[in-house]
A and B are shown apart, each in its own frame.
Chain A
Amino acid sequence: MHLKIPGHRPSARQFAIGVPYVWLALFLLVPFLLVLKISFSDLQFGIPPYTPIATLQDQTLSLALHLRGYVLLFTDSLYAAVYLNSVKMALITTLCCALIGYPMAYHIARARPEIRNLLLLGVILPFWTSLLLRVYAWVGILRNDGLLNHLLMGLGLIDAPLEIYRTDLAVYIGLVYAYLPFFILPLYANLVKLDHRLLEAAYDLGARPWSAFLRITLPLSMPGVVAGAMLVFIPSVGEYVIPEMLGGANTLMMGRVMWNEFFNNADWPMAAAVTCVMVLLLLVPLSIFQYNQARQLGGRR
């Protein structure tokens, strides 16, 4: 068996694939390996604030893997609670994005082409301002003496201001607001391609509009829903800015814990261990899911 080896000059295809690979290796894999290394070291005073893993002394190479961070992770219930809470908040955010984003994406995809681009622009418009500014705006809206409470009290709907700012609800509002476009865009791209004749065929065969939606549109749009959900769920789990600015002291999310370990406690190994476990927690289910998707796609061909 001979493998045909193409010429030494990389083809355009190899080049096109190679560039992002190198990029990902340099800026994702290498930093992650560094973090992984730090997670197995021990705390020490100085620069850097952690011990080296391998030391060469008296012709002896000694490898010291400190598991303190990981042991603490699994013994201190705080961390488990933080993980669970982060995943819960990210799941609820994803669900809310799906409930709000699906009808929006559906109507944009169904709108007349002239209007469609305008509506899409509306979805993308927030990206023209920094996230930080937009979250600050939410602080201004949700604060006890903020716009929302002024409005509601002015209308006489409530007597005392609603306590939203610095609660989990404020974090949910901020997360859903910030990540909604990431759900809408891939779903829209999927829905706009849906063959309208399939729906007509369903109506023709006796399906009411709602039933045709459930049995034709929804299943065929699942790849778009999944893509959108991933784009919302993954960054939400590790989100730092929004819980920090809108959440209360007891809004426990992984991003904040990492920040605290790194900068307040200067405990780099602990922070690195938190990070590594988070990546693992996200990566394993996602790669299993991805593998299944790929196999299904392969089966369809």
Chain B
Amino acid sequence: MAMQDPRGMPRQGEADDFVRMEDVVKIFGDTVAVKSVSLSVRRHEIFALLGSSGCGKSTLLRMLAGFEEPTSGRIILDDEDITSLPPHRRPVNMMFQSYALFPHMSVEANVAFGLKQEGVPRHEIHERVFEALDLVQMAGYARRRPHQLSGGQQQRVALARSLVKRPKLLLLDEPMSALDKQIRQATQIELVKILGQVGVTCIMVTHDQEEAMTMASRLAVMTEGQIVQCGTPHDVYTFPSSRFVAGFIGSTNLFTGTIVVDEPDHVLIETDALSRPLYVSHGISEPLGMEVHVSIRPEQIRVGRQAPETESNWGHGMVSHVAWMGSYARYQVRLDAGQTIEASVSSLDWSQSDAPGVDEEVYVTWSHDAGTVLAS
């Protein structure tokens, strides 16, 4: 397919689906862990599978590594069907959640393990091991045992061990979960740098949306064994396809209403939560009168004391809680109809002294292009 593209654009096609999962299903006994997942990952891409525990993301990763065989479906890596290849014969390496470093071997022996299994000549093993350790800045610790290293150092060794065989595909299982929160962000950025340097294709699994958005070039949100949305972090955040995704990636305010006006360039939606209709400046495919949901992100909502002059997209309510977060303040405003909405207000808009406080009456407004209409 990609390789046999007759129009002479093999690289393009090849890059589009370096890793391909086709209708992959995994059933354990009578529980369905993965319900028909199809997925393409491009070459050199860092792709994140994002979901809460039990959503099937780890099972998917284990099928890519070869620890589980799909009940049905195919997995194709670089135009080779690896669906039922045992783990030791796959050009795939994994960095395990708790690193799974061999406790009875030195750092050097841990990293050399994979090369020895491959039968690489001794002098080349030494060269490649130190090349990998240099990459993660752990060459000075080659003689240490894993238990003599800190969590961050163990992670680097685990990374070196999974990169030293130059796999076609690198799998990261919750790469940051064993690290302290303070060093996570710096580590995430450094990990992306190293992966970029090596140029390896990478699929990671995480339950942490911030981690996925920091590291991944594209991500897939999973729930109940299915992928519900797939795209760049920006696209998924800005155009969530469902209430689940909107709530899972960042926080959002959801209004439930019915479509009353449906024009090509805008729709009007009436909701019980607001006295004014919601104006959304993009067309939708849902019919008139249908119940839909509108998602508006907290950072798109403005809080003010003066009544807006527009006909739509505002509400009146009372501040129920204010949390100063430093660069922004998180407002909770209880609307007259009872729903509480959340707004992130930049510290630049209000100084702390004259910002609206708790129990003060306020108006909340947002622009025409702030809302996203969700059918499900």
Contact = CB atoms under 8 A, between A and B. Distances in A.
Interface stretch (B71-79, B110-118, B244-252): B110-118
Interface residues of A, number: 18
Contact of B65 (A204, A207, A215, A220): A204
Contacts of A219: 104
A292 to B, nearest CB: 16
Interface stretch (B93-101, B202-210, B216-224, B235-243): B93-101
Contact of A208 (B88, B94, B113): B88
Contacts of B161: 205
Contacts of A215: 113
Contacts of B93: 204-205
Interface string A183-219: 0000000000001011011111111100100011001
Nearest to A206: B117
Given A202-B113, A205-B114, A207-B88, A197 B147 contact: no
A195 B100 contact: yes
B65 A205 contact: no
Given A204-B65, A208-B88, A300 B102 contact: no
B113 A205 contact: yes
A207 B112 CA distance: 12
A198 B117 CA distance: 15
B100 A220 contact: no
A202 B98 CA distance: 14
Interface string A259-278: 00000000000000000000
Q: Considering residues A200, A219, A300, which has the most beta carbons from chain B within 10 angstroms of its beta carbon? A: A200
Interface in B81-96: 86-89, 92-94, 96
Contacts of B87: 200, 203-204
B165 interface: yes
Contacts of A300: 145, 147
A24 to B, nearest CB: 32
B141 to A, nearest CB: 16
B96 A201 contact: yes
B67 interface: yes
A211 B103 contact: no
B67 A200 contact: yes
B276 to A, nearest CB: 56
A215 B103 CA distance: 12
Nearest to A216: B102
Contacts of A220: 103-104
A197 B118 CA distance: 20
A200 B96 contact: yes
Given A200-B87, A300-B145, A300-B147, A206 B118 contact: yes
25 contacts: A195-B100, A197-B97, A197-B98, A198-B100, A200-B65, A200-B67, A200-B96, A200-B100, A201-B94, A203-B67, A203-B86, A204-B93, A204-B94, A205-B88, A205-B93, A205-B114, A205-B161, A205-B165, A206-B117, A206-B118, A206-B165, A207-B88, A207-B113, A208-B88, A215-B113
Interface of A: 195, 197-198, 200-208, 211, 215-216, 219-220, 300
Given A203-B66, A206-B165, 16 more contacts: A197-B98, A198-B100, A198-B103, A200-B65, A200-B67, A200-B100, A201-B96, A201-B100, A202-B102, A205-B114, A205-B162, A206-B88, A211-B117, A219-B104, A220-B104, A300-B147
Closest 8 CB pairs of A and B: A205-B114, A206-B117, A201-B100, A197-B100, A203-B87, A206-B88, A207-B117, A204-B94
